Structure 1
């Protein structure tokens, strides 16, 4: 990743001149300048407008549009239009279309309708990206590029046939070298699944009777993720060669789960993501009551928004990122799409800065009056009149925010191998990787603790006092070594299912904690997947009055050198250890938010990490020289004697003692 960053916090907008009459362009650009915007993203879905038929190009509209924005002093991010191959290309090369899990071809008529492994489509992308890069490489207003759009989203990562299925055996042969090694790695002796030829291996869908082998599924997910990485890299190589002075970014998505973003984002100059806080509420699924969703229906939940900010800052090695699409009104794609509360757009913008963003780009400027996003709002209504978001952006001053120098003492570990393995076999229909992750992350944010979210292998880049690992269920040897290396001087907190699978997705032969055994001090006895109506009491060993209730998942441990901190009471795990500690490492086996928060709080206090018990809906973020306090409640709140208006924020200089 190149060391490009932006120290000044700036604003912009996504605009689509091809969606409106040319007579409106100049007025739109003028309005954007008056709003204080300095960036505009263009053309990421415009392939058919640029090349309406094979070899016939209509550049003039985009040339004119770029000049109109440039005249108003706006800097431009161009999107490579590869997310939307045009109809003529699909007609000529129908084999580039992806295959869904049911074996059906996905048709033309939306977006990202292509198989990332298709060499035919890759060649077409090389052609259009090269032409576009050459045309705008020297335009003074064009400063950067966004590759494609929201790669690894909406089930478009995996194609279960076509080019991907044909390429998969080659990827496996390169990885394993021999079928004997693959059969052993996948455990193919089970149900007589051994392969005797590479071409026998297909995509893991439509398997008879029950689910596919989880190791097969894991490797196919890894393979499809790698195909996206390759697909993007061919565009990056062209842009680096033709436009060496331009930055390159990509806009990732909410709770991205389909592609390994640590690989995808590594060659970028900085990372971007698309923030839609209200739609994000649905990622709670059934974890939270409808009352909680109603409370935050017009603001989104502060911890879900900040978690995504922290993930994307972590992908940048704690450097600045952009929000490439910031919700500025009601969206169109969620199950429910309320109008944001008054002040929410400003609140989200300030929160993005607090977590490390140096740019916020609003989606979109003028609401579309046709096609799939008719119901999605913009800064302007369809008729061109300002919407509420326009007025909030007009009164938002990015200049008051200094350079963010956040320096957290706490890291939270996150990785995609664990995410995929956990979700392939959750063993409880109400559980998921994100459910468990949010439980630990939310406890830290409720205590006012600012954190870095990183991959385990990033531990070597910075020393942390506390490392929290919510759901590191699959450990590669490299990740295990990174964790073991920091254990002598770092307090570690592990959640359930830690180190349960090896790098191939199999359960370790010597049981859970096979790789982390030197720092755990105990072994798994058993795990218990609980129905929603079942609960398990957990009691502190040294205080019979301190107890918690766990739900959905409990696992118990047999200790050798570890100390038992909490044990189960009643039920099949009665008397067995629920939480153990060996030296500076604590392992929590019970899913109980109260228990998790209590343990994290105790460890922060012992490490002299500043904690603040935050009111519901109020959060604080340490930004170096300042703190930002946000109130996501639609009623007044208070914190440390400070009055907080509904859906508002305060930027507070830190007083040095």
Structure 2
């Protein structure tokens, strides 16, 4: 017997029957007052790929539509390498998703299954629009799943009304980053269709779910659905502990969720759910994620691109998170950029035409962009640019960068009168044209520019000549806040997250240890009804709304 997720959503009969099921359900329940939203295919993205003959034919048809001719396919797949030339469509095989294989066809395989998943979701969205246009869509997607996944950030506006997810946080930084990625460029709240009540092999800690619920409020949350309500009897998830124990007795978690509901009833009159436009946008590319994490096998790309792409994007997001600044996580090649005061591209290895065009226009129109090393090295086929690097953007940044090295010790950078120490030894040697140096490497042989700035059009393009790392990109981003009018959030100790909402300040202590927050004057607590003079001592997992 198979485990879950073994449906083949590319099969035409599956798609036909799924649409028919959706139609029948909507015909019956669309006007039922108990139905408030629609969700499509729980955790879609975590399915398995199929290697059937029919799926190979569908893959070939996808390639034909994308490239048109065999010659165009051969060029995109670099088949001149190692005698891989394809002479007819009959010679195209369905690559193995776990490899090994060349970068170019692996990337197209990922895109094919992504488009197939998005197509299945669009089928269901068409049914909803026809039979239940009154209901929003909030689906528990899993776009980052490695079994298949799909490019949510280039499709969110076609398949969802609200950003939604299963929320099982580890650290606060990762939780905030993931929520903002699922929110994408939505201007609607976030729904937590599965919200941590316990966990796999984890009964729960008193106060922890309440703390994460308040954390979710600060990250645009509106709906918190405990997973799971009843602890399961049998199956793979019976050791995932919910609100009600296996013997049917309510645990202490029922009371905790009751408290959350009661407090939120008050908070919904005080500016929640939050509705504020993020000031900054951070780029995330599914193409780069897939390409920089190839299947096992010989591949010099991994010898060049060290580390994990997602972690490098999170490193650029981290200073904004620590400064309690709202920052969107979006795909720059898909969403509007003109509403952001600052945009950041971290290790944007793949630089496709839409992303390059969007960044170029944003800067020319007066925007400020920060881009890091490892960026704009390959085009949308996964091949290294044959033009000056950064590909498609060398003139925007006013430089070229070819040579790179890995230093024998952590990089030291002289910036704004201080010496900063990094955590990554990779650096690029910038050949400055129109760009001017903002910082220099102190301990490399070349002592070349570590940060450069170039005026392009009405805006400015800043290049950090190494990977994003908080010790370097943090001071750089913070130096831009005053000039760009970026409002820093409340100052908090590590692990305490805060936002100002309708003149009140909410503090959430994500630490399992006490934390003290200082402020000026005297304030009263909306939740505790206590008065605080100059400081508040938050208990482990403690929260408060001060006014």
TM bin (shorter chain): 0.7 to 0.9
2:529 corresponds to: none
Deviations 1:118-148 (A, max 9, x none): 1132233233333333333443322332111
- 1:50-106 deviations in whole A, cap 9, x for unaligned? xxxxxxxxxxxxxxxxxxxxxxxxxxxxxxxxxxxxxxxxxxxxxxxxxxxxxxxxx
Q: Deviations over 1:360-379 (max 9, x none)?
A: 11111110021111100111
Residues 43 and 142 in structure 2, CA contact (< 8 A), matched pair in contact too? yes
- For residues 222-233 of structure 1, the aligned pairs below 5 Å read 222-233=111-122
Give the alignment partner of residue 359 of structure 1, picking from 216, 223, 248. Answer: 223
Contact kept, 8 Å, 2:282 with 2:329, in 1: the verdict is yes
Matches within 5 A, 1:389-468: 389-396=253-260, 397-401=263-267, 402-403=271-272, 404-424=274-294, 425-427=301-303, 431-457=307-333, 460=336, 462-468=338-344
2:370 maps to which residue? 493
Secondary structure, counterpart of 1:306 in structure 2: helix
Relative distance call for 1:494 and 1:623 in structure 2 (3 A) is: farther
3-state SS, counterpart of residue 336 of structure 2: helix
Counterparts of 1:429 and 1:505 in 2: how far apart (Å)? 13
Q: Identify the match of residue 321 of structure 1 among 190, 199, 218.
A: 190
Counterpart for residue 59 of structure 1: none
Shift of 1:634: 1.5
Partner of 2:525: none
The answer to whether the Cα contact below 8 Å between 1:619 and 1:631 also exists between their aligned partners in 2 is yes
Q: Does 1:508 align with 2:385?
A: yes
2:466 aligned with 1:593: no
Taking a change above 3 Å as real, the CA distance of residues 379 and 112 of structure 1, as seen in their structure-2 partners, is: same
Per-residue deviation, residues 403-435 of structure 1 (Å, max 9, x unmatched): 312232211122212222232344368611111
Contact map agreement 1:310 1:355 (CA 8 A) in 2: yes
Which sections of structure 2, spanning at least 5 residues, go unmatched?
A: 295-300, 519-534
**Residue of structure 2 equivalent to 1:193:** 84
1:110 pairs with 2:25 = no
For residues 607-622 of structure 1, what are the structure 2 equivalents within 5 Å?
Answer: 607-611=484-488, 614-622=492-500
Q: 2:429 aligns with which of 537, 540, 556?
A: 556
Of stretches 464-473 and 177-186 in structure 1, the one that deviates more from structure 2 is: 464-473
1-side partners of 2:204 and 2:405: how far apart? 41
String of CA shifts for 1:367-407, please: whole Å, max 9, x gaps: 00211111001111111222232121111121232231223
Shift in alpha-carbon separation, 1:623–1:555, aligned structure 2, 3 A: farther
CA change 1:254–1:441 in 2 (3 A) is: farther
- What is the DSSP-based 3-state SS (H/G/I as helix, E as strand, rest coil) of the residue aligned with 2:212? helix
Tell me the distance in 1 between the aligned counterparts of 2:107 and 2:501.
Answer: 38
RMSD across aligned positions (CA): 2.5
Residue of structure 1 equivalent to 2:401: 524
CA gap 1:603/1:157 in 2 versus in 1, 3 angstroms: farther
Given the superposition, is the C-alpha separation of residues 458 and 232 from structure 1 closer, same or farther in structure 2, using an over 3 Å criterion?
A: closer
Shift of 1:627: 3.7
Distance 1:443 1:384, change over 3 A: same
1:127-171 Cα shifts (integer Å, max 9, x gaps): 333333333344332233211111112xx2543445432211110
Distance 2:241 2:283 in 1: 36
Distance in 2 separating the partners of 1:125 and 1:254: 20
For 1:206 and 1:486, the matched residues in 2 are separated by 36
Partners of 1:580 and 1:586 within 8 A in 2: yes
Structure 1 partner of 2:235: 371
Aligned residue for 2:506?
Answer: 628
Distance 2:216 2:11 in 1: 37
Structure 1 residues 146 and 459: CA distance shift in structure 2, 3 A: closer
Q: CA deviation at 1:569?
A: 4.2
Distance 1:358 1:256, change over 3 A: farther
Q: Which residue of 2 aligns with 1:272?
A: 164
SS of the aligned residue for 1:456 comes to coil
TM-fit CA distance, 1:340: 3.7
* Deviation for aligned residue 1:527: 2.9
Q: 1:183 aligns to what?
A: 74
SS at match of 1:273: strand
Q: Return the offset for 1:472.
A: 2.1
Give the whole-Å Cα distance in 2 for the aligned partners of 1:238 and 1:646: 47
Post-superposition Cα deviations, 1:624-645, rounded to whole Å, max 9, x if no partner, equal: 5544321111121112233222
Whether 1:347 and 2:236 are equivalent positions in the alignment is no
The secondary structure found in structure 1 opposite 2:318 is helix
Asked if the contact 2:371/2:462 (under 8 Å) is kept, the reply is yes
Checking the alignment, whether the CA contact within 8 Å between 1:158 and 1:221 is kept in structure 2 is no
User: In 1, are the aligned partners of 2:351 and 2:380 still within 8 Å (CA)?
Assistant: yes
1:291 is matched with none
Whether 1:146 aligns to 2:16 is no
Residue 236 of structure 2 aligns to a residue whose secondary structure is: helix
